[in-house]
Structure 1
């Protein structure tokens, strides 16, 4: 039994073969052409190779469609019930990205505190900066912990993580975008109107409430809707980083 499981692990190391197993489990039985289309494979030679490697994990029904054999169902259990044996270790770029973004947050907070000590900015801005720092760091850390191991491509776990990932990404962008966009707009209007808008509007209670609550909520909803539109698939930039970094 142990040797059988070990051989299955070797077969299922390839992402395309894992997708074939999950696709057949989801649809029951799939024809050759439909399998090519659903997997995005354009070469019959490539698909034939993977089908040959899968071997007795698959069988054909009376209509010549592929389906999982009993051994194939055992392979499916390895993918779904014991995902830790098939997960890929976190990519180095994800750790570097987390470190870079966290370091930038610390640098920003340090600059604000320094400006406060030099009496260039008031304490209100320090409070706002600390609030941004805490919220952004929490979002980044949750995203980082989610990527400690990467679930099997196409699995339900990956879909669930992508839902959270798109939402967290939207929250983070809502925080950062509103802060910089509002600052740029207020400064531009201040130059045009010659009024101290940064002091009278930028640090008011409504601004803090919007930037710390409303903007992140709007960003989270927008991120979730974007993910839903894309079927909660991994973004192309993340796939590119996985491939080349």
Structure 2
């Protein structure tokens, strides 16, 4: 099964303009851009035939080419990463059995998160689209709650049914838990912003109009649910690694700390 990864990257961002080109300090004291770190993380995933940066911005394209990435230019009108992946396939003529949307703001995503998606879709032809979920540990749960308490839009949570099909995704912390009843294991799942699609699911997505919940939450995957398409959640294990996306400038120190920890353990 031919699998390709697209890393959607746009320069404009309400919460963090020019985010793909933000420089982050590595464990050795050097700096790398967020887009380069994301490309390196995607390139470490097994079972993938090619990795592309998908962008409509010449500055991002040039930076990506400078560190050796393949680039596909996309239309400015792409409203989110899923639409950008579909547009990248259309513009480039790339054909694949499986398309992975590897978010450009999640350089801490371990390769086995995406490998689990690929394996799930290889083993079940009925899955049109899949995404990872990670059970929150206490530190992650507290960080999610702190973001909301401070009015920051941070990570996303997911709730799903007994067959692991998504019921809803939200930037609120779901499900609600009475503060006095939070016990281990915490029944909150952090959504990892990676998606794997079959080409027909991508085509169905862009053919469906933008839905109200997608607009309100700012979560592209809600369009799949609104259209009645299943989204399979695949539970993954962090194996002791810290996972966090770069959603706001305030996330930079948290990610740099995780990078320092990774470097110390290598």
Same fold (TM over 0.5): no
TM-score, normalisation: structure 1: 0.26
- Structure scoring higher RCO (CA < 8 A, sep ≥ 6) equals 2
TM-score under structure 2 length normalisation: 0.24
Select the structure that is richer in helix: 1
Q: Between Structure 1 and Structure 2, which shows a larger proportion of strand residues?
A: 2
